[in-house]
Amino acid sequence: MACALLSWLLLFTALATPSQCNRLGPMPRLRYSRFLDPSNAVFLRWDFDFEAEIITFELQVRTAGWVGLGVTDRYSRAGSDLVVGGVSPDGNVYFSDQHLVDENTLEEDGSQDAELQGLTEDAVYTTMRFSRPFRSCDPHDQDITSDTVRVLAAYGLDDTPKMDRERTFVKSIFLLQIVHPDDLDAPEDTIIHDLEITDFLIPEDDTTYACTFLPLPIVSKKHHIYKFEPKLVQHKETIVHHILVYACGNASALPTGISDCYGADPAFSLCTQVIVGWAVGGTSYQFPDDVGISIGTPLDPQWIRLEIHYSNFHNLPGLYDSSGIRVYYTAHLRKFDMGVLQLGVFTFPIHFIPPGAESFMSYGLCKTEKFEEMNGAPVPNIQVFGYLLHTHLAGRAIQAVQYRNGTQLRIICKDDAYDFNLQETRDLPYRVVIKPGDELLVECRYQTLDRDSLTFGGPSTINEMCLIFFFYYPRNNVSSCQGYPDIIYVAHELGEEVSDSMEGMMAMSNVEWTPESIKKVEKACKEAQQTVIIKTIDELVENTTGWIQDINPTPRGPCLESSGGKVEPQDKTPAGFRAAPIVLSRASSATLRCLPLAALLFGQGALSWLLATLQSGI
C-alpha cells in the first residue's frame, strides 16, 4: 500500500511543480536582508521566531545552478553546515541538509533539520527558502545564537554541488536582531545635522586619532536626537576604524581646529562622555521610541568632541577625509533622556596580552556604589536597552556580567564569535535594571598565536582595547567606569621583583611566554585587586578597588530533536530535548515538497492519514 501511495504522491508532485507551489500566495515578508558578495549576486533575506527558536532564510543567487547557505566559523570551512538546493533541468527540485567534511567535500547529514518552503528558478535567479531551528541536536549543524554568525553562501553554474572558492562567500552577520528599524517611529518633523571633520588630510601613519570640537544643533527648546548613522567618505580601502561623539561639560574651555586626540595638547582629549559611537562594520542605529538624547536645555551639552580613528596601514599619501556622524532629531519628545556608560579595561599599557596565546582573558571591573556621590544627586535605577562591543584585532569574545550583593545576576550581553569587522550597536531582548551598588564585569578573550611580542592596551589598532558601551536611561553624569589589575601583584606571581607599576609593566617583557606562563599570568590578573576608575562628564575622577568574581556561563537551551542524527552527550538530560514535529524518512520526504498544497486540495485530515500510513510502512 505504501508503494501505491508513494506512486500517487510522485504523480501529484510531478503535476504540482515548484513554481505552482509558490503561486499559492505571498509568503510572509522576511524583514532583514543583506548582500553576501562584493558583486551583489548573492542576496539573503531572513527572519526568525524568537520564542519558537526557528529562523527562516531566503537565498537568491544569480545562477541557474545549485545554491547553498549555512554557518561556518572563523578558522576553517571543515565542519561548516550547508543547506543545498536547486532545480534540475527537468524541473525537479533537490534539497538537502549537508556539511563540509573538509574544505571541498560535501556530505549529507544523517539528520535532515532544514524544512524547505520554496525553491524556484527563473531566467536570472535561483531562489531557495527554508527554515531551521536555532539549535538542532545534529552535531553537524552549527547553532544560530545571539553572537555574531559567520554566514556561508556558495553556488555553482550547474546542478552538481561542488565547492568553488570563487563562488563561496562568508559574511559576519548579527542574525538575531531584536528590533527592526521598520518597527520604530520616524517623526514627521525630523531635522538632520551632520557632525563631521572637513577636508582632513589623513597622515601617512598606521594610526591617527583626529579630534575636533563642534557645536550641537542650536535649538530654542528641548529636542531629542533619536537616530544616528555614519557619514563616510569612500576610499579604496577601509581607512576609518571608528567614530565617537563625546559630550562636553558646559564649563569646559575647548580648543579650536583639528589635532591629535591623545598627543601633545591634552585639551584635545577633554570630554569623555560618549553619546553615540560607530565602528567598522556598523550601520545606522535608532533608539527605542521612548528614549532620546536631550539637547536644548541648560543641563544638556552644547558642544561635542568628534573623534575619528584612522587606520592607514599602507601609509597611503594624499587622502582627504570628511567623515563624521549624522544625527536625526525632533521636537516630539520621548519619555526618557538617555546616556551612555563606558565599561571595561582601562586603556593603557598595564593592560597586556602575552604573545602566542591560544586564549587569554582580560577583566575590567566597575563598582556603582560611588555613582551617587559622583553624580551629585541620587541616581535612579539604570535601565540598559542597547550596547556596543569593542576590541581590536586580537579580540575573539567579549561579555558583560552583573552582580548584586556578591551573587551573579545575569550575563547582560556577550559575543563568543566577535568579529572586529562587525561592530554595531545592538538591542537587548529586554531592558536590564542596574541598581546602585551593583558590580559590572567585562571579560574579553584574545588570541595572539600570530604575534611574537606583547600586545599592550592602547589606541592603535595593533594595540588592544576591552570596552562595552551601555546605552541606558535615565541619564546621569557618570561617563565611564573601568578597571585594571594590580600589576605589581601580577609581576610578583611571575617571580619578578618590582616596586612600582612601571617596573611591573616592564617586567612583563622579561617573561618567557609558554602555555604554562600564559595561564599563570592570566590567573594572576584575575586574582589581583582591581583599581576602578570612575569619571563624570565634568572630568571628575574617583578611584575605588574591588575583586573579580567567577562567571557562571549561561547553560545552553534544549536542542530540537533530530531525525537520524547523533545527539550530543550534554543534551542527554530530561530537559535536553524539544520534541520535533513528525519527520519523514528521506526517501519519502524527497517526494513531498508540495505537501502544503496537498493539504489545501485534499484536507488536512486526509494528509495526516497519508503521512501516518507512509511512516508506518503499511
Active site residues: 209, 390
Pairing of strands 291-295, 336-337: parallel
Please tell me whether residue 279 adopts helix, strand or coil conformation: strand
End-to-end C-alpha distance for the chain, whole angstroms:
6
HEC string of 129-162 equals EEEEECCECCCCCCCCCCCCEEEEEEECCCCCCC
Alpha-helical segments (H) within 469-514: 487-493, 501-507
Please tell me whether residue 311 adopts helix, strand or coil conformation: strand
Q: Is the peptide bond before 380 cis (omega within 30 degrees of 0)?
A: no
Contacts (Cβ under 8 Å, ≥6 apart) of 348: 457, 458, 484
All three cell numbers of 32 = 532583514
Alpha-helical segments (H) within 401-482: none
CA distance 612 to 583: 11
Which amino acid is present at 400?
A
Q: How many CB atoms are closer than 10 A to CB 68?
A: 27
HEC string of 37-68 equals CCCCCEEEEEEEECCCCEEEEEEEECCCCCEE
Residue 406's alpha-carbon distances to 266, 359, 398, 548, 590, in angstroms, are: 39, 27, 21, 10, 56
- Burial pattern 525-562, b for ≥16 Cβ within 10 A else e, equals bbebebbbbbbbbbebeeebebebbebeeeeeebbbbb
* 489 neighbors 368 (Cβ within 8 angstroms): no
CA distance 541 to 534: 6
Residue 396's alpha-carbon distances to 11, 67, 440, 444, 503, in angstroms, are: 53, 30, 20, 8, 29
Among 392, 517, 546, 511, residue whose Cα is nearest residue 456: 392
Torsions phi, psi of 59, nearest 5?
-105, 125
Residue with C-alpha cell 526618557? 336
Residue 471's alpha-carbon distances to 284, 294, 562, in angstroms, are: 15, 14, 39
